[in-house]
């Protein structure tokens, strides 16, 4: 069976936590599409193309063996519609802590209602990355703090400009 999974998110910027989830998904699914949400309501730190390029570089550099089986692309609209469009039977999300669970559960049930044939699977983010969040990293970077060790080299380069 050829199974494709979609890992949707904002990835502004990609963190080691995201990369860990992508690696875990690539260990289970034959093909993984990382879907970067085009969200006109959010004001991202990195524009869409920068986010896509950063994710691609991080995957090529740190998940090189799986890289040919991982696509990175932008999407607009509903995640389930994009899952159908790319032929993904699964949506992947990461869980860092119990606090993530409530909103993820709600999203998974909503997505199942919208598309019963698409299942959501969760990967537990590695413990050493479980404290990471893009929004905290953005805040630290905005105030000139050191985010080394939180972001893949590709994202650090992008932040350094």
Residues of the shown chain interacting with ligand PNS in the complex, contacts defined by CB under 6 A? 8-10, 37, 78-79, 107, 110-111
Q: Is 99 tagged catalytic?
A: no
* Catalytic site residue from 51, 96, 129, 158: 96
b/e 78-91 (16+ beta carbons within 10 angstroms → b): ebbebbbeeebbbb
Q: Is 134 tagged catalytic?
A: yes
Q: Which is nearer to ligand PNS, 65 or 104 (CB)?
A: 104
Closest distance of CB 127 from ligand PNS, Å = 20
Closest distance of CB 39 from ligand PNS, Å = 7
CB atoms inside a 10 Å sphere around CB 56: 18
Q: Which is nearer to ligand PNS, 8 or 31 (CB)?
A: 8
Closest distance of CB 72 from ligand PNS, Å = 14
Q: Is 158 tagged catalytic?
A: no
Tokens describing residue 72: 């990175």
b/e 21-53 (16+ beta carbons within 10 angstroms → b): bbbbbbeebebbbbbbbeeeeeebbbeeebbbe
Tokens describing residue 75: 């999407």
Q: Is 96 tagged catalytic?
A: yes
Q: Which is nearer to ligand PNS, 29 or 44 (CB)?
A: 44
Closest distance of CB 78 from ligand PNS, Å = 4
* Catalytic site residue from 18, 24, 31, 51: 18
Tokens describing residue 60: 């090529």
Tokens describing residue 134: 């893009």
Q: Which is nearer to ligand PNS, 9 or 13 (CB)?
A: 9
The alpha-carbon radius of gyration of the chain (Å, integer) is: 15
Positions marked active-site: 18, 42, 96, 134
């Amino acid at each position: 069976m050829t199974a494709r999974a979609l890992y949707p998110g904002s990835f502004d910027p990609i963190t080691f936590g995201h990369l860990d989830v992508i690696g875990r998904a690539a260990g289970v699914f034959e093909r993984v599409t990382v879907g970067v949400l085009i969200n006109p309501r959010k004001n991202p730190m990195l524009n869409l193309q920068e986010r896509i390029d950063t994710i691609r570089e991080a995957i090529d550099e740190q998940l090189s063996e799986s890289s040919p089986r991982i696509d990175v692309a932008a999407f607009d609209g509903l995640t389930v519609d994009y899952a159908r469009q790319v032929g993904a039977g699964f949506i992947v999300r990461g869980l860092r802590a119990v606090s993530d669970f409530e909103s993820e559960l709600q999203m998974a049930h909503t997505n199942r209602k919208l598309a019963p044939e698409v299942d959501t699977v969760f990967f537990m983010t590695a413990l050493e990355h479980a404290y990471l969040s893009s929004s905290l990293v953005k805040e630290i970077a905005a105030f000139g703090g050191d985010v080394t060790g939180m972001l893949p080299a590709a994202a650090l380069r992008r932040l350094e400009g």
